[in-house]
Amino acid sequence: MNYLYPRNLKEIPTLWLWSFKDIGIIGVGAIIAVFVFALTQVVVPLLIVGVFAFLTIRFGDTTMMNFIQFAIAYFITESHMYHWEAHQETNEKRKEINKHGR
């Protein structure tokens, strides 16, 4: 019998692109969503399960949801300050170039 262990025992075990917990949630949600769709023709539960499945795709230690949160934080919510200053050596080289007429 073969056992599948994560590379690092502290790492979350995954199957395909999801953790085992997420696969369980997706499976149960999909079954419930299919029953709801069969009885009421409402597509919303299927969409919710699909979005959850997309957001919980795992690459290494990061899920798509974490990646989107990091991107929003980097581009929208966190402020970035950049300071450009010329180094003293650069200023001296510019003065030499201007003296020689290059």
Residue 82 has a pLDDT of 73
Threshold 0.75, pTM exceeds: no
Helix orientation angle between 44-55 and 64-72, rounded to the nearest 10 degrees: 80
Distance, CA of 61 to CA of 22 (rounded, Å): 14
**pLDDT digits 0-9 by tens, 9-60:** 777 777 788 888 999 999 999 999 999 999 999 999 999 999 999 999 988 7
Residue 18 has a pLDDT of 86
Residue 81 has a pLDDT of 76
Distance, CA of 11 to CA of 84 (rounded, Å): 41
Tell me the domain boundaries of the chain: 14-100
**pLDDT digits 0-9 by tens, 52-102:** 999 999 887 788 989 999 999 888 888 777 767 666 666 677 777 777 765
Q: What is the DSSP secondary structure assignment for residue 1, as one 8-state letter?
A: -
